[in-house]
Amino acid sequence: MGVGVQYFAAFVLSYLLGSVSFSFFAGKLLKGIDIRKHGSGNAGATNTLRILGTGPAILVLALDVLKGIGAVWIGKWLGDGNTWIPVICGLLVIAGHNWPVFFGFKGGKGIASAIGVTATLCFLPALIAGVIAIGSIFITRYVSLGSLIFSGLLPIFAAVMGWELEIVIGTLLIAIFAFVRHKSNIIKLVRKQESKIGKKAG
In a domain, 201, yes or no: no
Q: Label residue 28 left, alpha or beta by phi (over 0 means left) and psi (-120 to 50 means alpha).
A: alpha
What pLDDT sits at residue 199? 62
Q: What is the pLDDT, as a whole number, of residue 202?
A: 44
Res 41: pLDDT: 85
Residue 64, domain member (yes or no): yes
How much is the pLDDT for 39? 86
Alpha helices in the chain (DSSP H): 3-18, 22-31, 45-52, 54-78, 84-98, 111-121, 123-140, 143-160, 165-181, 183-191
Please indicate, yes or no, if residue 200 is contained in any of the structural domains. Answer: no
116 in any annotated domain: yes
Domain limits for position 102: 3-191
Distant-in-sequence, close-in-space partners of 64: CB < 8 Å, separation ≥ 6: 22, 23, 44, 45, 97, 108, 112, 113, 116
Residue 81 placed within a domain? yes
Residue ranges of the chain with pLDDT lower than 70?
1, 198-202
Which pLDDT score, from 0 to 100, does residue 1 have? Answer: 59
The total of structural domains in the chain comes to: 1
Q: How far apart are CA 101 and CA 96, in angstroms?
A: 7
In a domain, 106, yes or no: yes
Domain assignment present for 187: yes
Q: Give the tens place of pLDDT for each residue, 167-181.
A: 999 999 999 999 999
Would you say residue 196 lies in a domain?
no
Nearest to 97 by CA among 62, 143, 64: 64
pLDDT reported for residue 42: 86
pLDDT, residue 28, reads 94
